[in-house]
Amino acid sequence: MIVNGEFLSRIRKIFDLNMYEVKVWTSLLSRGVSTAGELSTISDVPRSRTYDILETLEKKGFVVMKLGKPIKFLALKPEEVIDRVKKHMLNIAQEKTKLLEDVREGELIKELVNLYDTGIKYVEPADLSGSLKGRQNIYNHLDMMLKNAKKQATFVTTAEGLNRKFEALMPTLEKAKKRGVVLKIAAPINSENIKVARELSKIADVRHLDKAHGRFTIVDGEQMMFLLLDDKTVHPNYDVGVWLSSDYFAKSMNQMVETAWKDFQPVSKLKI
């Protein structure tokens, strides 16, 4: 069976399968009912692996094993597979979430924190830095920085970035505001993000920039996150951020932003 490689890769990613599983499943779909040996030949998957793969696919809800000899496997309708796989993934997610919550409440977290606290004592301040690839990873780290914020968090972003931060960080921003953290956000504000800007202005000092001044975040004058690429041209998966934990540098940048802040127009005075 000849199937486009890109098609197989998409299925692999969406359904969280390895390549052998994808090949065996699509081969079975093309036959309806088949034995492990036949599927091995069609899919070009080693015969020694095919039966185990079919058992795995059965557990995940992709196929059904028929009674009788020789043992055959029946393909399910793709619509039914989606429902089964969705349910399977939700069950796994719930189980893992419960395990993580158990860790948070148990003795293991104390041991992990002790290991971290012991190790961090030997880390030079200059070593507390790192790069993050992919917008989701970047926002996960920004979320962590906000959760640990005590005094102030300042964002300078693009017009599109303002919308993204509202979508990704709003709950954490609201919690930070309730803790007494002063929130400041500066971005070019236009007709496409004015509603978001006004919504954010309920919890933050939101100001308009005439043009983009880069993308960065400063938290408590101690940490910074720089975004290195133009968000209009880079794919989200290839966006790159640099995180720094440096009092000296973060405070210097914070002073520069504070000096320029009065020149940025408050969102309440905009007429869009």
Which of 3-17, 54-68, 97-111, 198-212 has maximum average pLDDT? 198-212
- Other CB atoms within 10 Å distance of the CB of residue 34: 23
| Sign of the torsion angle spanned by Cα atoms 197, 148, 98, 52 | positive
Find, among 88, 91, 94, the residue nearest to 56 by Cα.
Answer: 88
pLDDT confidence band for 68 (50 / 70 / 90):
confident
User: What pLDDT digit, counting tens, does each position of 217-228 carry?
Assistant: 999 999 999 999
Identify the domain boundary among 48, 81, 114. 81
Whether 52 contacts 34, CB under 8 Å: no
> Are residues 223 and 139 part of one domain?
yes
> Are residues 172 and 75 part of one domain?
no
Q: What is the pLDDT of residue 269?
A: 83
Q: What is the pLDDT of residue 105?
A: 84
> Are residues 140 and 64 part of one domain?
no
**Mean pLDDT across the chain, nearest whole number?**
88
Give the domain CATH number at 14.
Answer: 1.10.10.10
d(CA 43, CA 9): 15
For 231, which DSSP code? Answer: T
Give the domain CATH number at 205.
Answer: 3.30.870.10
Find the domain containing 201 and state its range. 127-269
User: What pLDDT digit, counting tens, does each position of 77-123 carry?
Assistant: 889 888 888 888 888 889 999 888 888 888 888 888 777 677 655 55
> Are residues 242 and 181 part of one domain?
yes
> Are residues 148 and 264 part of one domain?
yes
99 domain residue, yes or no:
no
Number of domains in the chain: 2
Higher-pLDDT residue of 68 and 120 is 68
Find, among 241, 33, 30, the residue nearest to 133 by Cα.
Answer: 241
User: What pLDDT digit, counting tens, does each position of 142-157 carry?
Assistant: 999 999 999 999 999 9
> Are residues 154 and 68 part of one domain?
no
d(CA 204, CA 34): 61
Taking the alpha carbons at both ends of the chain, their separation in whole angstroms is: 58
Q: What is the pLDDT of residue 128?
A: 60
* Segment among 99-113, 137-151, 206-220, 240-254 with least mean pLDDT: 99-113
Whether 246 contacts 219, CB under 8 Å: no
Q: What is the pLDDT of residue 245?
A: 86
> Are residues 230 and 142 part of one domain?
yes
